Chains A and B, each alone.
Chain A
């Protein structure tokens, strides 16, 4: 396990290095350190925070993904499954329709609020007297996401046209304009989430055998579920509020890690976080340099980079 962590950390560092070296403007580290103000601005105020933010978001999404997959015993679970993405997108769409997108910083706050409200609603819907039914949880999340999609379509139809393109781009995921403030904020969320998840990791991995089995082995099933879902949804909500909805990372990075290392949740959690971070850093860099002096949605590149790798692993495995 230590070897795997070291390997992924090295990959992440290389990815960060590449991401800061690539861009539409040619700058050198030497110039930046030497006092060239432009080079400094580009490297330290634009590229570096963006690369770090990508790493944090990738880590958040992958960690949330592997947690949901283990707690729900469902390999198709992704971090948005409990209504997080629908709620966030709904908040963003409604605020765009109201013209709030013109006020800097307002949409992410509303999006985050939407994400949390949606997750809370899903949870309340799935409560039975004795326990939280995972099937009902999944179904409620599905149904609410469908409802949110409808609201989003209506909101976009009513939104002022000039604001629409930006809103649509948000729904595809964008790391444009990442600041050190964003990095600091998300770093706090991700650090807290990772610490909490590592603390309950020993219990979470027991869910792989079923909630009843875990309970019989002394796991406080309700508590672990609640904490696991809450923390994962909150960190996902924070990631989505900052960058919009970036797909693929949360669903498939855990599978990628599992295909290579085949261990249980305690190992998969940190490895998935590192893997997700590296993937998103590379995808974001690719989205910036694919077309000259233009940027493409990062969500497209997470798939373009990840899918072939995943397929090749799948073919090589049993």
Chain B
């Protein structure tokens, strides 16, 4: 469904992503891991069409990204940046329904159908209860769920989440990861998300990508990634495997 071919990008001269190649099928939950600055966010932005690759190309559903019309692409691919925050106070339902924007014409307003989709998305994310509440009245976990609902409001085929689990407490991390798994299984969409947490990613994902200094160092199922020697080389810390979980070696 999605193919990344030899893509690279540099920010004002500093290389962020180097010749990345990977391909993704439908109905997959894929975690992109790696230390800070390894290019995870940049890769997601390249796929989301926020940035344009300097070399290489990205092909989605058989067509190069440059051939997709912006709104058309936005209808099928959803992106959630790090730390989303609307600059002005908004209700959850309004935040989510704004995710329907790629479906609206220039002068169109959201219809009742759009609001229904928004409510459905909120329900999918187990956030229907606070549809009418303002974002600043919610906890971090609740807010993340609202933003996830926003990304889902358009029934995308692929969603890209940039570090959605960072700064959530553990119970919410588990909840959210389970939610993502559930959505992938139920709707058949593919979810690519950047994360620092190896264990929860391994527990739920179909595949893990490890990035290091802009290159894709490893692209494999969790069982192959979650090994002490791999972790030592790619992440730089000593760990041992305890019942399938990686635990720091103390």
Q: Indicate yes or no for A touching B, C-beta below 8 A.
A: yes
| A→B interface (CB under 8 Å) | 69-70, 73-75, 128-130, 198-199, 202, 205-206, 208-210, 212-213, 215-220, 258, 262, 264, 266, 318
- Complex partner residue of B88 from A129, A199, A208, A318, CB under 8 angstroms: A208
B94 in the interface (beta carbon within 8 A): yes
Query: Once the chains bind, are B70 and A220 in contact (CB under 8 Å)?
Result: yes
CB contact under 8 A between A216 and B98, given known A74-B87, A258-B88, A262-B89: no
Convert B23-41 into 0s and 1s, putting 1 for each residue whose CB lies closer than 8 angstroms to a CB of A: 0000000000000000000
Residues of B within 8 A of A (CB): 12, 45, 48-52, 69-75, 77-81, 84-90, 94, 98-99, 101-102, 104, 106-109, 134, 160
- Chain B residues positioned under 8 Å from A198 (CB to CB): 107
The reply to whether B106 and A202 contact each other, CB–CB distance below 8 Å, is yes
CA distance A13 to B127 in the complex (A): 44
The distance in angstroms between the C-alpha atoms of A208 and B101, with both chains bound, is 13
Assembly CA distance A202 to B114 (angstroms):
15
- Whether A202 contacts B87 in the complex (CB less than 8 A), given A129-B12, A216-B79, comes out as no
When chains A and B are docked, how far (Å) is the Cα of A129 from the Cα of B98?
A: 29
Q: Which residue of A lies closest to B154 (CB)?
A: A217
Q: Is the CB of B84 within 8 A of A216?
A: no
A-B contact pairs, 28 of them (CB 8 A): A70-B87, A73-B87, A129-B12, A130-B52, A198-B107, A199-B107, A202-B104, A205-B98, A208-B87, A208-B90, A210-B81, A210-B85, A212-B79, A213-B79, A215-B49, A216-B48, A216-B50, A216-B74, A216-B77, A217-B71, A217-B102, A218-B70, A218-B71, A218-B101, A218-B102, A219-B70, A219-B101, A264-B94
* Top-4 shortest CB links A-B: A218-B74, A216-B79, A218-B71, A73-B87
**Closest A-chain residue to B106, C-beta based?**
A202
Contacts of B79 on A, CB cut-off 8 Å? 212-213, 216-217
Q: Which residues of A contact B101 (CB under 8 A)?
A: 202, 206, 217-219
A206:B81 contact, CB within 8 angstroms: no
B108: which A residues are within 8 A, CB to CB? 202
Most buried by B among A69, A74, A128, A202: A202
Residues of B within 8 A of A73 (CB): 87
B residues in contact with A129, CB < 8 Å: 12
| 15 additional A-B residue pairs with CB within 8 Å, beyond A215-B49, A218-B70, A264-B98 | A74-B87, A75-B88, A130-B52, A199-B106, A206-B98, A210-B85, A212-B50, A213-B81, A216-B49, A216-B74, A217-B101, A218-B73, A220-B70, A262-B90, A266-B109
A75 and B49 contacting across the interface, CB-CB below 8 Å: no
Q: How far is the CA of A266 from the CA of B86 in the complex (A)?
A: 15
Taking CB atoms, residues of chain A closer than 8 Å to B52 are 130
Q: Which residues of A contact B98 (CB under 8 A)?
A: 205-206, 209, 264
Q: Find chain A residues with CB under 8 A from B90 CB.
A: 208, 262, 264
Q: Are A130 and B84 in contact (CB under 8 A)?
A: no
What is the chain A residue whose CB lies nearest that of B102? Answer: A218
Give the docked Cα–Cα distance between A199 and B107 (Å): 7
Nearest residue (CB) in B for A216 is: B79
A73, closest chain B residue (CB): B87
| Residues on the A chain within 8 Å of B49, using CB | 215-216
Distance A210 CA – B134 CA, assembled complex (angstroms): 18
Distance in Å from the Cβ of A67 to the closest Cβ of chain B? Answer: 13
Which residues on A sit within 8 Å (CB–CB) of B94? 264
Of the candidates A128, A209, A219, the one having the most CB atoms from chain B within 10 angstroms of its own CB is: A209
A75-B87 in contact given A128-B12, A202-B107, A216-B48 (Cβ < 8 Å): yes
Of B50, B74, B88, B89, the most chain A CB neighbours within 10 A belong to B88
Contact of B81 among A70, A212, A220 (CB under 8 A): A212
Contacts of B84 in A (CB 8 A): 209-210, 213
Specify which chain B residues have a CB less than 8 angstroms from the CB of A264 in the assembled complex: 90, 94, 98
Distance from A120 Cβ to chain B, minimum over Cβ atoms (Å): 23
Alpha-carbon distance A130/B54, docked complex (angstroms): 11
